[in-house]
Amino acid sequence: MRVLVVEDERRLADGIRAGLEAEGFAVDVAHTGTDGLWSAAEHPYDAIVLDLLLPGLNGYQVCARLRERGVWTPILVLTAKDGEWDEVEALDTGADDYLTKPFSHHVLVARLRALLRRDLRERPVVLEAGDLRADPGSRRAWRGDREVELTAREFSVLEFLLRRRGEVLSKSEILRHVWDEAFDGDPNIVEVYVGHLRAKLDRPFGCQSIETVRGAGYRMAADGG
């Protein structure tokens, strides 16, 4: 899923980006509170990792202003500040969870996945369409009782299609959520990955789960094809 990281320490921000991308997330980075607020308000992120001590607007202000604008994207506050009042203030201004530096990358990923499961859209732990299943926590997928091995990017495309099953999704929408806003390659890369998924999840089983809607994009069949 697509995550915004707002962190002014560039080496740390780059490390978080690399780690999350290795787990299949699409990641955008902002280095100031002002830029983070703009990005979070303008783009449909699935979660936000937000430092508190930021230039421009601090993390508390970013949280409060997003909630005032009706942006309810889950926010994980990440900070070097340690103390119960810092945690209380972050949560009171709109954050959903709190993690103190230094932190374990594995804990960060687990916290983000927990936030995604708790999102107001009530996303299920295991995503299903007919006998096609995907577990975002373990990054595993199955067709019926048979497990199918997918790359991190293939799984991310499948996860996004399953979360929005029954809806027509354009190539640009898939790119925004599975890659990131800085992607400047060939948008037909989406077609390539859809082809990979069909080769692994559909053709060997005589199914057609990912439908091409001419001139519009792709749709995951609600019954899994």
Burial of 91 (0-12, 13-18, 19+ CB in 10 A): middle
Is residue 72 pLDDT above 90, yes or no?
no
Q: What pLDDT sits at residue 121?
A: 47
CA-nearest of 34, 28, 47, 30 to 109 is 47
DSSP strands (E only) in 83-163: 97-100, 127-129, 132-135, 140-143, 146-148
- Is residue 94 within 8 A of residue 64, CB to CB? The reply is yes
Q: What pLDDT sits at residue 23?
A: 87
Mean pLDDT of 52-59: 89
Q: What pLDDT sits at residue 38?
A: 94
Fold of 127-220: Arc Repressor Mutant, subunit A (1.10.10)
For 175-193, the pLDDT digits (tens) are: 888 876 666 667 789 999 9
Q: What percent of the chain has pLDDT over 70?
A: 91
Q: What pLDDT sits at residue 103?
A: 85
CA-nearest of 198, 190, 219 to 143 is 198
Confidence at 113, pLDDT banded by 50, 70, 90: confident
Domain ranges of the chain: 2-120, 127-220
- Is residue 198 within 8 A of residue 150, CB to CB? The reply is no
Q: What pLDDT sits at residue 168?
A: 92
Contacts of 70 (CB under 8 A, 6+ apart): none
Which one-letter DSSP state was computed for residue 200? Answer: I
- Is residue 79 within 8 A of residue 60, CB to CB? The reply is no
Q: What pLDDT sits at residue 182?
A: 62
Q: What pLDDT sits at residue 221?
A: 92
Q: What pLDDT sits at residue 144?
A: 92
Confidence at 90, pLDDT banded by 50, 70, 90: confident
CATH architecture of 2-120: 3-Layer(aba) Sandwich (3.40)
Mean pLDDT of 64-86: 78
Q: What pLDDT sits at residue 143?
A: 94
Q: What is the pTM of this model?
A: 0.60
Is residue 36 pLDDT above 90, yes or no?
yes
- Is residue 180 within 8 A of residue 27, CB to CB? The reply is yes
Confidence at 67, pLDDT banded by 50, 70, 90: confident
Q: Do the first three CATH levels of 2-120 and 127-220 match, i.e. the same topology? A: no
Is residue 137 pLDDT above 70, yes or no?
no
Q: What pLDDT sits at residue 13?
A: 93
